[in-house]
Amino acid sequence: MTRVYNFSAGPAALPEAVLKQAQEEMLQWNGAGMSVMEMSHRGKDFMSIAAKAEADLREIMAIPDNYKVLFLQGGASSQFSMIPVNLLAGKNKADYVLTGQWSKKAVAEARRFCEVNVVSDTSDSRFTTVEDQSKWSTSSDAAYLHYTPNETIVGVEFPFIPETDVPLVADMSSTILSREIDVSKYGVIYAGAQKNIGPAGLTIVIVREDLIGKAMDNMPVMMDYKTHADNDSMYNTPPTYSWYIAGLVFQWIKDKGGIKAMAEINERKAAKLYQAIDDSAFYSNPVDVNCRSWMNVPFILANAELDASFLEEAAKVNLMTLKGHRSVGGMRASIYNAMPEEGVDALIQFMADFEKRNG
């Protein structure tokens, strides 16, 4: 059976080389006589897998030594509450940039713990833009500034890193590893794994050490970064298999030339897809050109009645999971690192053919 080009927003496509290696190692890993899934997380085999994954992630992202890397569960959604619980540190206010559905959820969760000051709200433009930072209304007493560099649903991506004196917190779920970033500009970076890192079930948190150990009183131990930092993410049983696959993905990125090389491919893939959309009168993308996502490319057809046949015919040529998010409609092509350039080429070709027949 052929593998399709899977444009899912997440869980998303994984590199085929990674899946093949996992297949080869499925029954027994490296002479251990058992699958990674069956290993104790405290045994030397899994400890070596875990340590290598962390070391490789540190290398590809150039994570400074004064940051901890945590391998947690609970998804990015758990971080929506773990952020205020750990970072308020006695303050009662936090600044949030509202640029889409995911930052909206982060705001709602933070409101359970503190006053939230929304510094910029682009809901009036249906989240199709990012407001210049000079127009933001930041507060003087915020504990931190939270933003979502890439909003997965509408496909809006920050063209800049916000400047701030307070710890900068980023939900990088759908952009981590897609381009180089300067980790030292951040207090906390977090991401659910199921887009650009590996399988669902793993959440990566990269946190500056001085921000650890200040959690609110009487919070569950599992919500305190210190619990996980002090125990190398093994206070309880971590998501071992997802951690292992993430490690294979980090190795794959290294083999490909690192994040710089990935970014060049990503930029090219996105540019040609947006070009195809802009060149046609049949497809359109509503996001401001300077903040269009490299990872999630939504587009709508001139006639929404053709949506069903677009999806049906795309599936026949192995282009899958292109349906847009229910709140936006139309289509969305998520083109994370694991989507080969040929997949984007095939989509562009199909879009042109479909337009010729229906436009």
Taking the least distance from each CB to ligand PMP, the nearer of 205 and 248 is: 205
Does the protein bind ligand PMP through residue 173 (CB under 6 A)? yes
- Integer-rounded Cα radius of gyration of the chain: 21
Interface characters, 298-337, with ligand PMP (x: CB under 6 A): ----------------------------------------
**Encoded tokens for 183:** 């980790």
Angle between helix axes 240-255 and 44-61 (nearest 10 degrees) is 40
Q: According to CB under 6 A, which residues from 100 to 159 bind ligand PMP? A: 102, 148, 152
Applying CB under 6 A, the span of 29-37, 44-52, 73-81, 257-265 interacting with ligand PMP comes to 73-81
Least distance CB 86 / ligand PMP (angstroms): 17
Question: Can residue 225 be called a binding residue for ligand PMP (CB under 6 A)?
Answer: no
Locate 31 and state its tokens.
């002479």
Determine the Cα–Cα distance for residues 277 and 298; give it in Å rounded to an integer: 10
The interface region with ligand PMP, picked from 28-36, 50-58, 126-134, 170-178 by CB under 6 A, is 170-178
Give the interface segment with ligand PMP, choosing from 131-139, 169-177, 236-244, 337-345 (CB under 6 A).
169-177
Q: In what order do the strands lie in the sheet with 331-334?
A: 283-284, 296-301, 331-334
Q: Catalytic annotation on 102?
A: yes
- The 23-62 site mask, x for binding ligand PMP (CB under 6 A), equals ----------------------------------------
Catalytic residue (choose from 56, 171, 224, 294): 171
When binding is defined by CB under 6 A, the residue of 10, 15, 187, 239 that contacts ligand PMP is 10
Buried b (16+ CB within 10 A) or exposed e, 153-176: bbbbbbeeebebebbbbbbbbbbb
Q: Are residues 337 and 194 in contact, defined by beta-carbon separation less than 8 angstroms?
A: no
| Whether residue 171 lies in the annotated active site | yes
Angle, CA 333 vertex, CA 328 and CA 337 arms, to 5°: 135
68, 104, 195, 323: the active-site residue:
195
Check if 52 is active-site.
Answer: no
Report which residue type is found at 114: C
- Residue 327: alpha-carbon gap to chain centroid: 19
Q: Are 206 and 186 in contact (CB under 8 A)?
A: yes
Q: Which residue in the set 21, 35, 77, 318 belongs to the binding site for ligand PMP (CB under 6 A)?
A: 77
CA angle in degrees (0–180, nearest 5) for 45-190-337: 75
Helix (H, G, I), strand (E, B) or coil at 216: coil
Q: How many CB atoms lie within 10 A of CB 113?
A: 17
- The count of chain residues that interact with ligand PMP, using the rule CB under 6 A, is 11
User: Of these, 167, 187, 192, 298, which contacts ligand PMP (CB under 6 A)?
Assistant: 192
Active site members:
102, 171, 195
- Interacting residues toward ligand PMP by CB under 6 A: 10, 75-77, 102, 148, 152, 171, 173-174, 192
